[in-house]
Amino acid sequence: MAQFTERVFSGVQPTGNLHLGNYLGAIKRFVEMQARYDCIYCVVDMHAITVWQDPKELASQTREVTAAFLAAGIDPRRHIVFNQSQVSEHAELAWVFNCVARLGWLNRMTQFKEKAGKDRENASVGLYAYPNLMAADILVYRATHVPVGEDQKQHLELTRDIAQKFNNDWSESIAAHGHGDAFFPLTEPLIGGPATRVMSLRDGTRKMSKSDPSDYSRINLTDPPDAIAQKFKKAKTDPEPLPSEEAGLAGRPEADNLVGIFAALKDVTKANVLREYGGAQFSTFKSALIDLAVTKLGPIGTEMRRLAADPGHIDAILADGAERARAIARPTLEAVKDIVGFVRSR
């Protein structure tokens, strides 16, 4: 198998306000990856329109996700931050992948089934082909590592299947054009951390979600400190004190969630947290959690609000990122065209 330069790619959809789940499950890990890899972080606006988006909202959410990236500590000069629609190579490669992926593969995608719901006939073709565009996002940069949540694992497997089928079907042409025995890498998902799944503060068995009607179910990244405190104070718990060991969290989803959030914010394990707070009442633990959350999230919210006041600055960062992304994507697409047999001017 050919060797590929290590590179991280990940994407976040600009739909709905960002919350603690997006931060701990994705953005915080994106920040950490910067020390070890060259990273490309993309606001996937083309994925967003697979379901209806109000145009003004889409633009403002795209800027808000970008602001969250920057506020959380992603460095757009050393790494790349941009929005997907500005680099048309994503869409071009996605078309080729539409012709590589099989109907049978897409029919197995659980996210499509969930999002399309009962009225499948009325789902957009884009929603169905969503995973092919996601594979194109990743492979147009020949990215080797993708930090994602558990829910995206199946899409990453599909990305590997597409890369493998492309490498196999065009193997002779790939070799003939000087690319050795494989053109696309088999990308590794990076899944992990104590809180890759942050649950609702009102119901520990449901994911924290932007679409939950109760704002008390989630901590938004733009929540000011008093709102963060209020929401954790009202967060559902159970009557027992905290256990001293992780096994004691079994069957206690709310306790498990709050301990997981604390651990992730503090960069320690749940076992560590319980060593300190085992036997404590929730009131004690919650005050410590509020202090920690306000310390970690407060500055991010403040910076996001500051950046929101200067959309021109955000747009300039996205334009610069898009240009640098294109410089990597364009040669990939030229090679793909040669491999497939598309005639192009030189």
- Whether residue 231 lies in the annotated active site: no
Residue 191 beta carbon to ligand TRP: minimum distance, rounded to whole angstroms: 11
- DSSP letters of 156-204? HHHHHHHHHHHHHHTHHHHHHTT-TT-SS--PEEE--STTSSPBPSS-T
Number of residues that bind ligand TRP (CB under 6 A): 13
Instruction: Single out the residue of 10, 62, 132, 167 in contact with ligand TRP (rule: CB under 6 A).
Output: 10
Q: Which residues contact 255 (CB under 8 A, 6 or more apart)?
A: 204, 237, 238, 240, 242, 243, 249, 282
Q: Does 9 participate in binding ligand TRP (rule CB under 6 A)?
A: yes
Name the catalytic one among 56, 113, 115, 270. 115
Written as six digits, the tokens of 283 are: 């009131």
Contact stretch for ligand TRP (CB under 6 A) within 116-124, 144-152, 233-241, 246-254: 144-152
Residues numbered 148-177 forming contacts with ligand TRP, rule: CB under 6 A:
148, 152, 155
Residues in 119-138 that interact with ligand TRP by CB under 6 A: 134, 137-138
Q: What are phi and psi of 285, to 5 degrees?
A: -65, -40
Question: What binding mask, one character per residue, do residues 302-331 give for ligand TRP by CB under 6 A, x or -?
Answer: ------------------------------
Host H or E run for residue 7: strand 7-12
The per-residue DSSP string of 74-135 comes to --TTTSEEEEGGG-THHHHHHHHHHTTS-HHHHHT-HHHHHHHTT-GGGS-HHHHHHHHHHH
Give yes or no: 210 in active site: yes
Of the listed pieces 9-17, 167-175, 231-239, 316-324, which binds ligand TRP according to CB under 6 A?
A: 9-17
Among 18, 27, 44, 139, indicate the residue that binds ligand TRP (CB under 6 A).
Answer: 44
Cβ atoms of 195 and 264 within 8 Å: the answer is: yes
Q: What distances in angstroms separate CA 315 from CA 61, 111, 130, 321, 328, one per listed residue? A: 12, 31, 25, 10, 20
To the nearest whole angstrom, how small is the minimum distance from the Cβ of residue 164 to ligand TRP? 17
69 binds ligand TRP (CB under 6 A): no
What's the min distance (Å) between Cβ of 137 and ligand TRP? 4
Summarize as ranges the residues that interact with ligand TRP (CB under 6 A): 9-11, 13, 44, 47, 134, 137-138, 146, 148, 152, 155
